Structure 1
Amino acid sequence: MTVTTYRWTLDRYHQAVEAGIFDDQPVELLNGELITMSPEGLPHAHLTTDGAEYLREVLGRRALIREGHPITIPRSASEPEPDIAIVERLGDVYLTHHPYPENIFWVIEYSNSSLNKDTESKRKIYAAAEIREYWVVNLKQMELIVYRDPVEGDYRSEQKLIAGKIRPLAFLDVEIEVDRLIRRSV
């Protein structure tokens, strides 16, 4: 017996979302497949909120910080909902579509139970979309994993940080304290 899975297109997925089909089911579209999203634990929720607030302080009006909202990756029929997406400020353009890869400076996922999904399938989706950098806050090890330089569907650079400062590629004049992303603010 052959098992065939139904592949969702972005249009069909958007129709289902508009119809309220997934209102009580936390799902995201990855490579044309519906994936159940893990519930947020207390550290995940707190650190995501704290990290987004910190990035708003540091970046000011240079970028829009979106928390837990979709981004659209048409080439892979994906619409992930990263914990934090740092995107261009395009105002009402986002009334007609979620940010596309060309609108995204970088994305951040806070990961505990979803660590494997975030460091494997999502990493490859973001790299294939040529999102310049992708950060994963590994809540198990309290470290920041930084992926950069997307080439042929994967990132060529991976760096793990537990302290210090990092400069995002889109804003090389900005220093971000790793501690403020992986630990509670003081």
Structure 2
Amino acid sequence: MTSLTKWTVEDYHRMIDVGIIKNRKVELINGEIINMSPEGPVHRFINHRAVKYLRHILGNLAEVMEAHPITLINSEPEPDITIVRYPDTLYLDRHPSGKDIYWIIEIADSTLQKDLGTKKTLYASSGIEEYWVIDIAKKNFKVFRNLMNNEYQIEQNYQDGVVFSLAFPSVEISVKKIIGFDERDI
């Protein structure tokens, strides 16, 4: 029987440092180096719109990172959007870790099953209190909260209206602007 070799975050960093995985779009998930799906135009548009909007409304409350690595146990995924503790200088010599992250947003077109399965489980087991998944096809998003025993207990679905993050309950977030289908400028 053949077994799969699991890589540590340190192994993964060494591979990056020596150029083994140079110019490859990969991420480390649960000890496995996984190819990342290519980003289509609609995915890029929604990602850009949501990041621009969140930076505008959150101001100096948090950093809004776009498609950058985060370091978790045996994983270093690159979520589409990660809202992390301020200031950005916290991340001069390391990537944000679970304790730094307010919430993560993944944008799903061809990756919906992975985002609602492997990624959701990974983020919950890493203590990420809130996780949002934008479903491009349905023009909505799911919010996962109430972390207990490494699982999200609450799932809410939004197509319009407003949502409030756990980290910033006084900041009103427009659903239409997050999913990128609000034609009005921010």
Within 1, Cα distance between the matches of 2:106 and 2:142? 10
Query: SS where residue 83 of structure 2 aligns?
Result: strand
- Note the alpha carbon deviations across 1:23-80, whole angstroms, 9 max, x for none: 2221111111111110001100011011000000100011001000011112xx0111
Would you say 1:10 and 2:9 are equivalent positions?
yes
Listed as ranges, the matches of 1:115-130 within 5 Å are 115-130=112-127
The residue identity in structure 2 corresponding to 1:170 is A
Specify the alignment match of 2:173 in structure 1: 176
For normalisation by structure 2, the TM-score amounts to: 0.95
Within 2, Cα distance between the matches of 1:91 and 1:37? 25
Would you say 1:42 and 2:62 are equivalent positions?
no
Identity %: 40
The residue identity in structure 1 corresponding to 2:65 is R
Q: Is the 8 A contact 2:62 2:87 kept in 1?
A: no
Within 2, Cα distance between the matches of 1:91 and 1:44? 25
For normalisation by structure 1, the TM-score amounts to: 0.95
Would you say 1:106 and 2:118 are equivalent positions?
no
- Note the alpha carbon deviations across 1:128-164, whole angstroms, 9 max, x for none: 1111100000011111110001122211010111000
Within 1, Cα distance between the matches of 2:19 and 2:152? 35
Specify the alignment match of 1:60 in structure 2: 59
Change (3 A) 1:90 1:61: closer
Within 1, Cα distance between the matches of 2:53 and 2:159? 17
Deviation at 1:20, TM superposition (A): 2.1
Within 2, Cα distance between the matches of 1:122 and 1:145? 13
- Higher mean C-alpha displacement, 58-67 vs 148-157: 148-157
Segments of 5+ residues of structure 2 without an aligned counterpart are: none
Segments of 5+ residues of structure 1 without an aligned counterpart are: none
Structure 1 ranges of 4+ moved more than 3 A: none
Query: SS where residue 167 of structure 2 aligns?
Result: helix
Aligned partner of 1:155 among 137, 152, 156: 152
The residue identity in structure 2 corresponding to 1:140 is A
Specify the alignment match of 2:83 in structure 1: 86
Within 1, Cα distance between the matches of 2:56 and 2:86? 15
- Note the alpha carbon deviations across 1:96-148, whole angstroms, 9 max, x for none: 21001110000000001011110100001100111110000001111111000
How large is the Cα RMSD of the aligned pairs? Answer: 1.0
Would you say 1:140 and 2:137 are equivalent positions?
yes
